[in-house]
Amino acid sequence: MAVTQLSLSELNKQIKAQLDEAFPGLIWIKAEISELNINRTGHCYLELVELDEATKEVLARCRATIWSYSFRMLKPFFETTTGQAFAEGIKILVNAKVEFHPVYGLSLNIRDIDPSYTMGDMARKRREIIRQLEEDGVLDMNKELELPLVPQRIAIISSPTAAGLQDFLEQLSHNPYQIRFYTKLFPAIMQGKEAANSIMMALEQAFQYEEFFDVVVIIRGGGAQVDLASFDHYELAYHITQLPIPVITGIGHDKDETAVDLVAHTKLKTPTAVAEFLVSGAAAFEQTLDEFKNRFVDLVEEQIQTEKEYLQRTLQNFKLGVRQLVNEENNRFKLTSVKLEKSVPAFLSSKSQLLNRHRYLLEKAGTSHLSEQKHELDRQLNRLDFFTQRQFRIKRTSLEQVNEKLASQLNNLLKNQQKRLEHIEGKVRLVDPKNVLKRGYSLTFSNGQLVKSVHQLQPGDELTTQLADGKVTSKLLKQNNHGK
């Protein structure tokens, strides 16, 4: 039996002919990009693979090319449609021509890409991440943390050169309420293949200050939508769920929610929105404190006024009571005297003989009666004096307590007013003309009038310049209007 002998080039030519016959036109191929290189001429060279879903073992491998004239159109179309960078690790559906070169072997020449296939794969990956986090029972762990009433100590995870970072810091530093925030930047890469690992390292660094920081802020700001893929990462999302500090995101996108957004305590669209959230929360709390303070002051003043009115009424009632008691005793004494004066003459007239007979007994009885009346009067006066002194002591103690409260509050008010006065005096010193001159400013006079405009002067005018330590006389040679 004759053995057919072929040279390698002849074999490759036959293979090429068979492939051209088997695949005369374009075909759609599903694959994953394992390597991607763009040379200086704009041609894109790829290596496509097919992996086993369970074991990730490579089932097939093939080279592919996208010539520059096609790549210039396909790349921006793909990235704009999918919001995903055309890079290694993504799955694609391409329309390609099967080619076989006698020297370089089998390759695919890609003519078109279907972005909907990649979008479906991205959405599937995101759903798988969320489902896995739900199964792990950690999806809402960071949301369950209590956000401080006034988060002022903020750990920032961002790229140091991000424009969004500068906007965020500017808005915090120059907020209209003059609320102070402490911030510390933990630098991280916010896009590309290294972004997820870099952000996780920054989270680990912030975790070392767990007791200090109130919140962790992850901000990106600006950039292309294609960079959001870095935030659909299971390990990064899991790290956030395990962080014992509330996380706020401002990644800078309007439409899609990444896995990082879904697990964060609070998600906002932009770094500026995060700054507004922090500032407005602190301002609302400060306003509440001011309202409580004003209500407390009003209640204290109202209570003081009530106590003063009660004390005045009590003193007035006490005076009236004492005066009434004295008047009643005087009236009783006068009534007794009148009765006695009326009864004695009649008694003496009708009982003159009996009086003479019992003079000794009558004198003794009269003396005893007067003694008893005096003793009773003394006892009533002692009771009145004791009651009066006791009431005075009680009211004096209450009055002293009120005076002490008023003195303490007046003292605090005077101290606060003194501090304000010292602050105003400091401002006045800053704008004092003498101090202004010492800082290098000067005043120029012409004919005794302060010069405020070049229109007041003419060449040849004599000028007097007032400096901090003296005056200088000069003559105007030339003048420029509006800096010309």
Helix pair 271-350, 359-431: axis angle to 10 deg: 160
pLDDT bin (cut points 50, 70, 90) of residue 401 is: confident
pLDDT of 68: 94
Residues 20-30 pLDDT 10s: 899 999 999 99
β strands within 214-362, DSSP E = 215-219, 247-250, 266-268
CB of 253 closer than 8 Å to CB of 228: yes
Tokens (6 digits) for 40: 């200086």
pLDDT of 1: 59
pLDDT bin (cut points 50, 70, 90) of residue 385 is: confident
pLDDT of 429: 76
User: Residue 122: pLDDT above 90?
Assistant: no
Higher pLDDT, 463 or 227: 463
User: Residue 474: pLDDT above 80?
Assistant: yes
CB of 157 closer than 8 Å to CB of 217: yes
Residues in the chain: 484
pLDDT of 360: 67
Mean pLDDT (whole number) for 109-117: 91
Reduced to 3 states (helix: H, G, I; strand: E, B; else coil), residue 409 is: helix
pLDDT of 424: 81
Residue 98: φ, ψ to 5°? -80, 125
pLDDT bin (cut points 50, 70, 90) of residue 292 is: confident
pLDDT of 121: 74
User: Residue 265: pLDDT above 60?
Assistant: yes
CB of 274 closer than 8 Å to CB of 250: yes
Tokens (6 digits) for 177: 């309420």
What percentage of the chain carries pLDDT values higher than 90? 33
Residues 295-354 pLDDT 10s: 888 888 888 888 888 888 888 888 888 888 888 888 888 888 777 777 767 666 766 666
Tokens (6 digits) for 183: 């911030």
Tokens (6 digits) for 39: 């040379």
β strands within 304-376, DSSP E = none
CB of 89 closer than 8 Å to CB of 222: no
Higher pLDDT, 326 or 39: 39
User: Residue 31: pLDDT above 90?
Assistant: yes
| DSSP string for 42-99 | S-EEEEEEEE-TTT--EEEEEEEEE-HHHHHHHHHHHHHHHSS-S-TT-EEEEEEEEE
Residue of 428, 429, 446, 434 whose CA lies nearest to 470: 434
Residues 205-258 pLDDT 10s: 999 999 999 999 999 875 555 567 778 889 999 999 999 999 999 987 655 678
Mean pLDDT (whole number) for 407-411: 83
Residue 382 CA to residue 385 CA, distance in Å, equals: 5
pLDDT of 460: 83
pLDDT of 365: 63
Q: Cα–Cα distances in Å, from 123 out to 103, 128, 181, 201?
A: 40, 9, 38, 26
Phi-psi region of 175 (alpha: psi -120 to 50; beta: other; left: phi over 0): beta
Residue 224 CA to residue 381 CA, distance in Å, equals: 100
The helix (run of H) or strand (run of E) holding residue 27 is strand 27-38
Mean pLDDT (whole number) for 383-407: 80
Tokens (6 digits) for 164: 């969004």
CB of 227 closer than 8 Å to CB of 220: yes
Which neighbouring-strand residues pair with 463?
474
Q: Which residues, 6+ apart, have CB-to-CB distance to 91 below 8 Å?
A: 30, 31, 32, 117, 118, 121
Residue 67 CA to residue 41 CA, distance in Å, equals: 9
pLDDT of 323: 86
Residue of 79, 52, 283, 298 whose CA lies nearest to 181: 283
Q: Which residues, 6+ apart, have CB-to-CB distance to 279 below 8 Å?
A: 171, 172, 175, 177, 179
User: Residue 440: pLDDT above 80?
Assistant: no
User: Residue 446: pLDDT above 90?
Assistant: no
Mean pLDDT (whole number) for 120-140: 85
* Averaged pLDDT of the chain: 85
pLDDT of 60: 92
Q: Which of 249-253, 285-289, 337-341, 361-365 has the lowest mean pLDDT?
A: 361-365
Cβ burial, residue 42 (10 Å; 0-12/13-18/19+): middle
Residue 89 CA to residue 48 CA, distance in Å, equals: 10
Mean pLDDT (whole number) for 244-273: 87
Residue 260 CA to residue 237 CA, distance in Å, equals: 5
pLDDT of 355: 57
Mean pLDDT (whole number) for 422-443: 77
Q: Which of 268-282, 343-357, 418-432 has the lowest mean pLDDT?
A: 343-357
User: Residue 2: pLDDT above 70?
Assistant: no
pLDDT bin (cut points 50, 70, 90) of residue 70 is: very high
Higher pLDDT, 475 or 354: 475
Q: Which of 4-8, 45-49, 278-282 has the lowest mean pLDDT?
A: 4-8
pLDDT of 428: 74
User: Residue 123: pLDDT above 80?
Assistant: no
CB of 123 closer than 8 Å to CB of 130: no
Residue 377 CA to residue 334 CA, distance in Å, equals: 13
pLDDT of 264: 95
Q: Which residues, 6+ apart, have CB-to-CB distance to 381 below 8 Å?
A: none
Q: Cα–Cα distances in Å, from 266 out to 218, 229, 247, 258, 449?
A: 11, 20, 7, 13, 63
DSSP 147: P
Pairing assessment for the beta strands 58-66 and 443-446 based on DSSP bridges: unpaired
Residue 478 CA to residue 455 CA, distance in Å, equals: 12
User: Residue 364: pLDDT above 90?
Assistant: no
Q: Cα–Cα distances in Å, from 2 out to 5, 10, 15, 377?
A: 9, 18, 22, 162
Residue 368 CA to residue 351 CA, distance in Å, equals: 20
Residue 189 CA to residue 199 CA, distance in Å, equals: 7
Mean pLDDT (whole number) for 11-17: 89
Domains of the chain (ranges; CATH) run: 8-117 (2.40.50.140), 137-289 (3.40.50.261)
pLDDT of 62: 94
User: Residue 156: pLDDT above 90?
Assistant: yes
CB of 44 closer than 8 Å to CB of 14: no
